[in-house]
Amino acid sequence: MSTPSSSEVFLVTKLVVPRPPPGLVVRPRLLDLLDRGALGPLTLVSAPAGWGKTALVSTWLAGGSAPGAPAWLSLGKEDRDRRAFWTGVLRALGLPPAAESDGVVAQIVAALAEREEPVTLVLDDFHEVADPAAAADVQTLVERAPPALRLVICSRTDPPLRLQRLRVSGQLTEVRVRELAFTVAETGELGRALGLRVAGHDLELLRRRTEGWPAGLRLAALSLAEHPDPHAFVERFAGDDRAVSDYLLSEVLSRQPPETLAFLLRTCVVEQISGGLADALVGTSGGAAMLATLMRRDGLVGALDAQGAWYRYHPLLLEVLRIELRRTLPDEIPELHRRAARWYQRHGQPLEAVDHAVQAEDWDLMADALAEHWLTLVVRGRGASLRALLERVPDRVVRTDPELALAAAALRFEAGDRASADELLAIADAPAGADAWR
């Protein structure tokens, strides 16, 4: 009896449906969505790392509601070229290997056309397939799919298929971050499944902090299990929790090309990002295209408007990016904040301009932004926010600049601190300015 080679053993392990993780929360609404998707030829489960794609589909298969026999293929870097990819697919389907890759789609179509029972083929981690020819083959397979085939693709990025055409034709069912995010009730179920002794309002706060990100919830649970004060932990929980930061560094940031990582680090100093602001921060053009690509390909950013003009990073990812920025590029941080301040000032967002000028500790830039807009901000009800920013400015800076002293006086007066306001007014010694706010 011959001993199987290590490569054969490795391939066999890629064909095994993964076991659902311990403490799994069964979510009927998602299983129902996969059931509906199985009525058509293609279901796409697309979301970044840690959103539970593999766990969801493996749970669905274990429940027995998937049509026919399941065929599973876990893809990896070794499957990046066309031939390796299709070799794995054929093995998963129990079909003989093809002599040439060019005929493999026809071979699969012909073989499945003879089957009476359906087969559900799951291609997990499809983002590992880098050969455009392989993706084109999959597109052809979907378009020519025999009635027996149900294809499920799990990917961290949208595959290079003609998805819009498939949507219009009704051949595509999609499961994305919006669907995969845990609800309040599901977060409670997860807490109970993991044995967490956490109050309901703390679980809801944790869900808001993670935005329902399953991996974030589970990683937080690991820390909560050993924490002496669960409420305090939840109050402070962010991307700087070691378990979360290690996961994001290893599973998200380390996989990015150098130019993408550089873009992420230099744009994380702001809360929301647009193409123009990204260009100003990075010092190049193409920011809008990069943001659109990151949203479409990696799900690293989410659109804030229908036009795709403004985006934001997931809060936990944003925090980890800022930690990594401080670790790797600390000398660039003040200049990045200066660039942000100048951009906001040019585009009529004075409060944001002052904020970043303060973070850059560029007091001249901060004074320029403040001098022009402080009265307008007070009139518009933004005085409290502006006052909080001025509290971060050294007292010596305020007291040596008449315009800053005047603005600070107005803000103190608005807050009811008349004595401090009068003192700053005396320093300002600017009658015209004083008349403007009285």
In the chain, what are the domain boundaries?
6-180, 184-237, 358-438
Using pLDDT thresholds of 50, 70 and 90, give the confidence band for residue 432: very low
| Mean pLDDT, the chain, integer | 84
Instruction: Tell me the pLDDT band of 22, cut-offs 50, 70 and 90.
Output: low
133-144 as b/e, with b when 16 or more CB fall inside 10 Å?
A: ebbebbbebbbe
Size of the chain in residues? 438
pLDDT band at 360 (very low <50, low <70, confident <90, very high): very high
pLDDT in tens, 142-182: 999 899 999 999 998 889 899 998 898 888 999 999 999 99
Q: In this predicted structure, which of 20-34, 100-114, 184-198, 372-386 has the lowest mean pLDDT?
A: 372-386
Query: According to the per-residue pLDDT averaged within each range, which of 73-82, 138-147, 247-256, 407-416 is highest?
Result: 138-147
Q: Interhelix angle for 6-14 vs 82-93, to 10°?
A: 70
Band (pLDDT 50/70/90 cuts) for residue 299 is low
CB half-sphere exposure, 241, CA atoms < 13 A = 27
Burial tier of 41 (Cβ tally within 10 Å: 0-12, 13-18, 19+): buried
What is the distance between the alpha carbons of residues 50 and 246, in angstroms, rounded to a whole number? Answer: 13
Greater confidence, 410 or 162? 162
| Per-residue pLDDT tens digits for 5-19 | 434 444 677 898 887
Q: Which 3 state secondary structure label does DSSP give 231?
A: helix
189 versus 395: which is more confidently predicted?
189
pLDDT of residue 434: 40
Give residue 213's region: left, alpha or beta (phi > 0; psi -120 to 50): beta
pLDDT at 4 over 50: no
Q: Does residue 325 register a pLDDT over 50?
A: yes
Identify the pLDDT of residue 8. Answer: 47
Tell me the percentage of the chain whose pLDDT exceeds 70. Answer: 89
Helix, strand, coil share (%) of the chain residues, nearest 5: 60, 10, 30
* pLDDT score at 330: 96
428 — pLDDT class (breaks 50, 70, 90):
low
Instruction: Give residue 430's Cα distance to chain centre.
Output: 49
* Model pLDDT, residue 89: 94
Q: What is the predicted pLDDT for the residue at 427? A: 67
pLDDT value of position 431 = 47
- In CATH terms, is domain 6-180 a member of 3.40.50.9100? no
Q: What's the whole-number mean pLDDT along residues 127-156?
A: 92
Q: Is the pLDDT of residue 193 over 70?
A: yes
Q: How far apart are alpha carbons 162 and 165 in whole angstroms? A: 6
Percent of the chain past pLDDT 90, that is, above it, reads: 38
What is the DSSP code string of 172-216? EEEE-HHHHS--HHHHHHHHHHTT----HHHHHHHHHHHTT-HHH
Helical pair 333-346 and 363-379, crossing angle rounded to 10 deg: 40
Structure-block tokens of residue 186: 């599901």
